[in-house]
Amino acid sequence: MSTSSYDLATKLTQMIETGVWLEGERLPPERDLSAQFGMARNTVRRALKSLEDAGRLVRHVGRGTFVRGVAHAESALARRIEQASPAEVMEVRLIFEPQASNLAAGRATAEDLQAIEQAYRRSRAAADVVEFEHWDAELHLAIIQATRNALLIEYCEAIGAARQQPQWFRLKQRSLTPEARVLYDQQHGAIIDALLDRDAATARAAMQQHLISVRDGLLGL
């Protein structure tokens, strides 16, 4: 996260903690926050994403971004997901992400597809593992968001928190070889081509093949 987005995330956290925004309250749209703080919308988006990852905010497609209660953010389920092993995370991802890609092929809006393509471009241009891991996560989340299923999106965001754990990052550092980067870029491209073609069956199959590659690389299978 850049210095400006970090500073904004700090300000937003202070506003939540001092009661400017209360639990359950909806935040202003990104464009309004951008104007209020004099920052670019992509900077605002990164700051909001960091607070989502920290469990302070929750985003509902079509409804907006809301302040999340501390009790909810620290629920037993959230803690359990954050503590899940990479093997458990990959098992769950293999269950729902292929089907989510199937749904996204039929439901994605033009804006959804633009977000997916942008995350893909950023992941391909990533200079190191940290940057790639960030944009890889953004790409997969953008595909989930294109399902327009708020419950699925929230659950997948919680699953994504497990990717912030040190154990996951160590495995990703070890497994993300130059050859793996090329393979993942190609597989991501195949998924996106299927989504753009509205080919649900191919999108589902391409996502499944990609996640099998990721699982095998992470776990040394």
Query: Facing residues of 60 across strands?
Result: 64
Average pLDDT over residues 138-147: 93
Fold of 76-219: Four Helix Bundle (Hemerythrin (Met), subunit A) (1.20.120)
Helix (H, G, I), strand (E, B) or coil at 60: strand
Q: How far apart are CA 166 and CA 195, in angstroms?
A: 32
Tell me if 3-73 shares its fold with 76-219: no
Question: Three-state SS across 200-211?
Answer: HHHHHHHHHHHH
In contact, 136 and 123? CB cutoff 8 Å: yes
Architecture of domain 3-73: Orthogonal Bundle (1.10)
Structure tokens at 42: 């992509």
- Segments making up each domain of the chain, as ranges: 3-73, 76-219
Percent with pLDDT over 70 in the chain: 89
Does the pTM exceed 0.75? Answer: no
Residue that has been written with the tokens 């992509």 in this structure = 42
How does pLDDT run across 61-82, given as a tens digit for each residue?
A: 667 888 876 544 445 556 677 6
Written as one letter, the residue type at 23 is E
Average pLDDT over residues 103-128: 93
Q: How far apart are CA 215 and CA 104, in angstroms?
A: 22
Determine the pLDDT at residue 164.
65
Query: Facing residues of 26 across strands?
Result: 66
Q: Of the candidates 116, 115, 135, which has an alpha carbon nearest to the alpha carbon of residue 125?
A: 135
